[in-house]
Amino acid sequence: MLHNFNSGPSILPQVVLQQAAEAVINYNNSGLSLLELGHRTNAFQEILNEAKDAVKKLMEMNDEYEVLFLHGGATTQFMQVPMNLLDTQATAAYCDNGIWGNKAYKEAKHFGQVAVVSDGSTDKYHSIHKNFTVPSDAAYLHITSNNTVEGTQWHSYPTTSIPLIADMSSDIFSRPTAFNQCDLIYAGAQKNMGAAGVNLVVVKKDLLGKISRPIPTIMNYQKHIEAGSLMNTPPVFAVYVSMLTLRWILQEGGLEEMGRRNAAKSSLLYNTIESLPIYTAPVAKEDRSQMNAVFFLNDAALEEPFLALCKQEGMIGVKGYRTVGGVRVSMYNAMPLESVKVFCELMQFFAQQKG
């Protein structure tokens, strides 16, 4: 049996995979493949509407916010956010708490001034630096809610009087959280929300239309809102898989249930790491991610045989990110507790053999 710990594209619920596979052959008994479905048909509009409604329901968002499904993934938002929100002479505040926050603020520099108010590189991104001051005239504050590579997570968001922008790509819909504390949320779908190829943007409408620079039409959030996410051909299949995944989250008990499951999985894994002296988790306990646990073997020479054992036993995708190394175990919504139990048993076996 395989256990899919990939960090993204990542594990999806089996029922979603089954329904998506059937739709590729024959969508809803229409005789057409989902891949052949016109994006301006009533059938696709129903898919899009259900997906948007599910997002608002899970986030408990009111009509101040608009939901968009766009091309490009979260990395495109590194430029699209400042393009829409940051004037040339204005300043945006960024938290550099990992590789993705670092990339985001560097892209923003193309559009205005950037103040890095929280720099986690000073301790190798092993904690979230929360004690910082945001310039009162900043256009917005940008955070990455979960750092997939480094294994850190914001467990509560910074309080600020300026608009808060959050890249939630790797922990969106994994727990109840203060979505309405944010003015703009974006997330690539391929962790907790579906297949790669679509990006979710949830934006407060009164945040837009306030900068002086011309914005290319395809990059303008307001134009996408006016077009109902149909300005150009959307990634129909990816939107459909997102809709199925959001439907599954609701049917399984919503964010309360996802949060309960994810807390159980991450607690089991971190407790196992701490109980076995041959492993070390460097992230500050209060900032540990429930989605991506990063740890190391104290004897670096044991890393290769440990990863070889994981591969032999069907533990897929546990090698750490190339710039960090070590081991990374991703435990997204669809990951069953049983897989984490089996992984912890493997860790215990390896420690008994090599400890």
pLDDT band at 276 (very low <50, low <70, confident <90, very high): very high
- Which uninterrupted H or E stretch holds 216? none
At a CB cut-off of 8 Å and minimum separation 6, what does 313 contact?
342, 346
Indicate the average pLDDT of the chain. 97
**For the residues 247-251, what does the mean pLDDT come to?**
98
The Cβ-side half-sphere exposure at 283, using a 13 Å CA radius, reads 29
pLDDT > 90? residue 355: no
pLDDT band at 280 (very low <50, low <70, confident <90, very high): very high
The rounded Cα 352 to chain-centroid distance in angstroms is 35
| Secondary structure of residue 176 in the 3-state scheme | coil
State which amino acid sits at residue 166: A
User: What 3 state SS string does 296-354 have?
Assistant: EECCHHHHHHHHHHHHHCCEECCECCCCCCCEEEECCCCCCHHHHHHHHHHHHHHHHHH
At a CB cut-off of 8 Å and minimum separation 6, what does 49 contact?
none
Question: What share of the chain in percent tops pLDDT 70?
Answer: 100
Residue 113: strand pairing partners: 91
**For the residues 214-243, what does the mean pLDDT come to?**
97
**For the residues 321-337, what does the mean pLDDT come to?**
96
Domains of the chain, earliest start first: 14-252 (3.40.640.10), 254-354 (3.90.1150.10)
Q: Compute CA distances 199 → 147, 168, 193, whole Å.
A: 17, 11, 10
pLDDT > 80? residue 321: yes
pLDDT > 90? residue 162: yes
Query: What is the model's pTM?
Result: 0.97
Q: How many residues does the chain have?
A: 355
Q: Please list the active-site residues.
A: 100, 167, 191
The rounded Cα 147 to chain-centroid distance in angstroms is 9
* Structure token digits, residue 184: 């703009």
pLDDT by residue (tens digit) across 251-274? 999 999 999 999 999 999 999 999
pLDDT by residue (tens digit) across 282-315? 999 999 999 999 999 999 999 999 999 999 999 9
Q: Compute CA distances 50 → 206, 250, 311, whole Å.
A: 24, 12, 39
**For the residues 114-135, what does the mean pLDDT come to?**
96
pLDDT of residue 1: 85
* Angle at the Cα of 96 from the Cα atoms of 93 and 101, rounded to 5 degrees: 95
Give me the torsion for CA of 343, 346, 347, 349, rounded to 10°: 160
At a CB cut-off of 8 Å and minimum separation 6, what does 130 contact?
118, 158
pLDDT by residue (tens digit) across 186-228? 999 999 999 999 999 999 999 999 999 999 999 999 999 999 9
* Structure token digits, residue 209: 């239309």
| Secondary structure of residue 32 in the 3-state scheme | coil
pLDDT band at 75 (very low <50, low <70, confident <90, very high): very high
